[in-house]
Amino acid sequence: MSVTRAPRKLYVKSYGCQMNVYDSQRMADVLAREGYVETATPDDADVLVLNTCHIREKAAEKVYSELGRLRVLKQEAARDGRRLTVAVAGCVAQAEGEEIIRRAPVVDLVVGPQSYHRLPDLVARAAVEGRVVDTEFPAEDKFDHLAAPTRAATRSRGAAAFVTVQEGCDKFCTFCVVPYTRGAEFSRPVAKILAEVEDLVAAGVKEIRLIGQNVNAWHGDGPDGRAWTLARLLYRLAEVPGVARLRYTTSHPRDMDDALIAAHRDLPALMPQLHLPVQSGSDRILDAMNRKHDRAAYLRVIERLKTARPDIAMSSDFIVGFPGETEQDFSDTLALVDAVGFASAYSFKYSPRPGTPAADSDDQVSEAEKAERLARLQARIDHHAAAFNAATVGRTADVLFENPGRHDGQMTGKSPWMQAVQVMAPPSVKGEILAVRITGTGTNSLYGALVVANGTAPLRHDGADHGTTPDPALPGAPDPAVRAASGGH
């Protein structure tokens, strides 16, 4: 009599950036071929992966703290006669390597972000040989060796999906570890991106979010034998039947070329929201950061984007307390926030990253000053975000519904401007793009009501009409005559 073996279980905990979310999903896909199924809890996992990020403050120490807690879980698994393989992946794995093995006996496997396509072999090696470290930059393209997700896996992840098109960075900002943990810039070819997008859409995905550490530097090989730009890729993806929405992140101001800005004017599917990190409003600090742009250049890019798409919602990243930052430098940052009026932004205290030039600076800002400036900056950002959100109240916007809301009978989705919108609606709206009348604002989201067509059914959009036409009362939106003359959407 044959014995059916229970499937092995995989638990992946992802930290940090959107790239890590994508990577975690692809780890699950590659292990699925070996019979692993994802579990919602680490308690019954056979393989547990911490997919780490090195950008946030004290990232490595947070990983070691988590590993300390996992020691108990591994001991409990052993008492039950079950082997638990603990892996550390991602950028902390790349940066720390053998140090993780030395400091955390619970770890069986350390794998860098360029090698996770080897996970099945590495897990098997760890079971036979003992602890394994793989943080090399392999010669082969990992994307060529990754399994495509099943239709069921794609549907379970929702109607919006990340697609990595670019990895690495050649900018070498003095505060950043990405060039060291992710390597030099690499762009995936058009054919492979297009095939992945078509598979996702066939499984029900409506919104494609192109991601990369420096995504607008993408220059992948096209079917014509030439390197394409991100703008050309967006135009091509907008032609894929079923692609209702396109987004891309994270961008560098120096790589916002004319064609990419024009795409925001011309493509209805390209959502009117862009994350464009500036880091500081001070030219002196921007130079010290090696950002390769100044304040005026950044503001010119913003002006051109708003001319192309007047209702665009801008978001950004800021670092406060960079070495040598004075009160005047910080005041320049506050002034830039006021000049742009960001719809949202992320702000962080500067935290030294070992191996980066800024970490060795003798002109470090005190923790007390950094904390005080961060509070002031975040208050200014929150003021502008609240104003942007308030301007949408009373308007109608298309919402892509993704998950249940915070309360019974509530569903949540994303507006074209990337705002979370809470709506009383049945679970059946998940994955739909529906017209919503915005009725109010909360601390971190908007509230709305479905717009009903013919008095019976919600107003739907199937992708032919993407429903992102700006209401003239939204911040910066032109009147209809101006829109018609400019050809914008």
CA–CA distance, 419 with 425 (Å, rounded to integer): 17
**Dihedral, CA atoms, 323, 166, 209, 406, nearest 10 degrees?**
-50
* Residues 9 and 83 sit within 8 Å (Cβ to Cβ): no
Q: Omega of the bond prior to 468 within 30 degrees of 0, cis? A: no
The predicted-structure confidence for 327-350, as pLDDT tens digits, reads as follows 999 999 999 999 999 999 999 999
Beta bridge partners of 247: 209
Sheet order of strands, 207-211 included: 160-164, 207-211, 245-249
The predicted-structure confidence for 378-406, as pLDDT tens digits, reads as follows 999 999 999 999 999 999 999 999 999 98
Query: For 457-486, what is the mean pLDDT?
Result: 40
CA–CA distance, 81 with 73 (Å, rounded to integer): 13
Query: For 188-198, what is the mean pLDDT?
Result: 96
- In this structure, the chain runs to a length of 489
Task: Tell me what pLDDT residue 460 has.
Answer: 67
Query: For 249-271, what is the mean pLDDT?
Result: 97
Query: For 470-477, what is the mean pLDDT?
Result: 39
Task: Tell me what pLDDT residue 363 has.
Answer: 94
The predicted-structure confidence for 45-83, as pLDDT tens digits, reads as follows 999 999 988 766 567 788 888 999 999 999 999 999 999
Q: How far is CA 408 from CA 305, 321, 413, 424, 469, in A?
A: 40, 43, 15, 9, 31
Q: What pTM was computed for the model?
A: 0.82
Task: Tell me what pLDDT residue 470 has.
Answer: 38
